[in-house]
Amino acid sequence: MILMYKIGVMGGRETVMGFKALGLDVFPVDGLEEARHVFREITKEEAQFAIIYVEENLAQGLQSEIDKFKDVPMPAIILIPGRDGSLGMGLQALNAAVERAVGTNIL
């Protein structure tokens, strides 16, 4: 049996719907409480997501939940800018991951 992992995108409707055309699983959410519930569901092992893209403005309120996955291989939680532009959180997360892996920030 071949195990197929999925890629998901969670954020505001305007942000995630374009990803649906690419064949990704999209999770449009309207607020932080809904985002928290959806995030918990899609990060369960049985959900089989290898990568979950999360809109930055939601990630601010989900930081404690996201931090639980920073040192595990799956799912990879990647922050993406929303419709209003980047908050810089994705770049900060990338810098932190590189620093953990290499021991210093080489970016």
d(CA 1, CA 43): 22
d(CA 85, CA 6): 26
Provide the domain count of the chain. Answer: 1
Per-residue pLDDT of the chain (107 residues; tens, 9 = 90+): 677 899 999 999 998 999 999 999 999 999 999 999 999 999 998 999 999 999 998 998 999 999 999 888 899 999 988 777 555 555 565 555 555 555 665 55
Structure tokens at 19: 């990803």
CA distances from 72 to 7, 52, 67, 86, 93 (A): 16, 13, 10, 25, 14
In a domain, 61, yes or no: yes
Q: Which domain holds residue 28?
A: 6-102
User: The pTM is what?
Assistant: 0.79
In a domain, 98, yes or no: yes
Q: CATH code at 62?
A: 3.40.50.10580
In a domain, 1, yes or no: no
d(CA 29, CA 13): 7
